[in-house]
Amino acid sequence: MTTREKILDAALTLFAENGYDGTSVEQIANVVGIKAPSLYKHYKGKEDILNALIDSAEVRYDEMFGSENHIGRIPENREEFIKVTMGRVAFTMRDPMIRKIRMLLVQEQFRNERISEATTKHQLDGIQGMFAKIIKGMMDAGIVVKDDPKLLAVELTAPAVLQIARSDRQPQCEEECLECIERHLQHFCDTYMKK
Amino acid sequence: MTTREKILDAALTLFAENGYDGTSVEQIANVVGIKAPSLYKHYKGKEDILNALIDSAEVRYDEMFGSENHIGRIPENREEFIKVTMGRVAFTMRDPMIRKIRMLLVQEQFRNERISEATTKHQLDGIQGMFAKIIKGMMDAGIVVKDDPKLLAVELTAPAVLQIARSDRQPQCEEECLECIERHLQHFCDTYMKK
DNA sequence: CATTATAGCTAATGCTTATTAGCCTGTCAA
DNA sequence: TTGACAGGCTAATAAGCATTAGCTATAATG
């Protein structure tokens, strides 16, 4: 890992934990193992680090949720749908990097337009788009009732997004959040899946 | 309005807009119309202002959503339910004070346990509890299908909470957010209300 | 009327912060 | 071998920050 990358990594951790204004350039440098002024050999300044961080978060997010090939196989029945969805949720909830990106975005969402748009993409448009396709697939396969896939995606994802956000701020409730999501998922299937 | 109150008011606005760390005591004093050191005649320090702010936010929230007498009449039919609920949503979304409290909480949710718990209460437990009661009432009246009211409250409120959060960070999308909530509400009624 | 508390002020303190200047060392190309 | 550059360092700068000390005027209280 290059120093440039180490800086991004340290900054992400610290920004996520203490916020942008709550993090000093010196703290970042400490984690990297260099002195603060050396950091300016790699980035123009603190704001520049934040921007680079958002760039890389966007790239990572698009790799993860943007491309078609990560939707995977359309589940063939209720059990498979629940299993694969819960797996996705648990992974997203626990992955340290993704978690830090969420925490960074949510704290700095009012700072500038880029972050604000990224937050909407992550919390709403991105996941909804992805699940709309999966739900559409299941409708076409005849295992989900005919309806607007986009609308069902909203119903499906919104409670999960809120619970993931909760587990970010109250990690001790992670288990409870997952259970809550699973109950919701069961209910979703009860409501919209054919028997 | 006493100076003590003016200080809380100014601090709420500034914290909501720029975050706690992004706001200086001097800025708060400027808005109030006094010099920074005078502020210490009213509060022990910056952290003390934040705590007082959360106290008052909690009081206001409990007045608003905590007590039974604010649930109001149980709607008698679909149209009334949609109308009164959209009214509630629009009010909550637009009320400046409530909006600032949401913005403050969401930005500082990782700072301390009180704020973290308040955020969960506002975003999840509070609204869900309130709507669970309303839904329960409509079930008892026979206009909503029999189901777990708490679970239906999750399905009902989660998309709305996310859209309200979106309109906080992208106020230019307020109209769009409200439309999105209304579509969701219609869909909720289609799904769970008897014809 | 005397005094005491309230609530403002200016000045100062001491700390943190982001950033710059300038130096040094090792690596690699000409 | 020389020279340039990358990437580290120390020292310094300048600004901003929360907070304290101490003064003053006004209003309330005895």
Average pLDDT for residues A77-88, to the nearest whole number?
Answer: 98
- The helices-and-strands tally (H runs, E runs) of chain B is 9, 0
> A111 CB contacts (<8 Å, ≥6 apart)?
A20, B19
Residue B69: pLDDT above 80?
A: no
Mean pLDDT of chain B: 96
Chain B residues 134-193 with CB within 8 Å of chain A: 151, 154-155, 158-159, 161-162, 165-166, 168-170, 180, 183-184, 187, 191
CA distance B167 to B106: 13
Q: Is A110 on the interface with B (CB under 8 A)?
A: yes
Best probe of the B interface among A154, A177, A186, by most B CBs < 10 A, is A154
Q: How far is B169 from chain A (nearest CA, A)?
A: 6
B22 touches chain A (CB under 8 A): yes
Q: Which nucleotide's C1' sits nearest to the alpha carbon of B29?
A: C8
Percentage of chain A lying above the pLDDT 90 cut: 93
Task: Mutate one of B47, B110, B123, B127 to test the A interface: name it (highest A CB count within 10 A).
Answer: B110
* Strands in chain A per DSSP E: none
What pLDDT does residue B195 have? 80
Where does A38-126 have alpha helices with state H? 46-61, 78-94, 96-108, 113-120
Residues of B in Cβ contact (< 8 Å) with A158: 158-159, 161-162
Task: For residue A36, count CB atoms less than 10 angstroms from its CB and return exposed for 0-12, middle for 13-18, buried for 19 or more.
Answer: middle
Q: What is the C-alpha separation between A104 and A119, in angstroms, rounded?
A: 10
Substitution target from B120, B169, B173 for chain A, most A beta carbons within 10 A: B169
Q: Decide if pLDDT at A18 tops 90.
A: yes
Could you report the per-residue pLDDT of B141-151, keeping only the tens digit for each?
999 999 999 99
- Rounded mean pLDDT, A94-101: 98
pLDDT computed for residue B70 by the predictor? 79
pLDDT in tens, B77-116: 999 999 999 999 999 999 999 999 999 999 999 999 999 9
Examine the pLDDT at A30 and tell me if it is beyond 90.
yes
Which pLDDT belongs to residue B94? 98
Residues of A in contact with B22 (CB under 8 A): 21
Phi, psi dihedrals of residue B74, rounded to the nearest 5°: -75, 125
The pLDDT value given to residue A138:
98
Which pLDDT does position A15 carry in this prediction? 98
pLDDT score at B88: 97
pLDDT in tens, A125-181: 999 999 999 999 999 999 999 999 999 999 999 999 999 999 999 999 999 999 999
Is strand C in 7 Å reach of the CB of A35?
A: no
Query: pLDDT tens-digit profile of A45-72?
Result: 999 999 999 999 999 999 888 777 778 8
Q: How far apart are CA A9 and CA A24, in angstroms?
A: 15
Give the mean pLDDT of chain A: 96
The DSSP annotation for B103-162 comes to: HHHHHHTTT-HHHHHHHHIIIIIIHHHHHHHHHHHHHHTTSB-SS-HHHHHHHHHHHHHH
- In this prediction, residue A90 carries a pLDDT of 98
SS3 (DSSP) at B164: helix
- What Å value separates CA B36 and C1' C1? 35
Residue A56 touches chain B, beta carbons under 8 Å: no
What span, in angstroms and rounded, lies between the C-alpha atoms of B111 and B104?
A: 11
Q: Is the pLDDT of residue A26 over 90?
A: yes
Whether the pLDDT of residue A112 is over 90: the answer is: yes
Least confident of B4-13, B70-79, B115-124: B70-79
pLDDT for the residue A195: 80
How many C-beta atoms lie closer than 10 Å to residue B141's C-beta? 12
Residue B57 CB neighbour total at 10 angstroms: 22
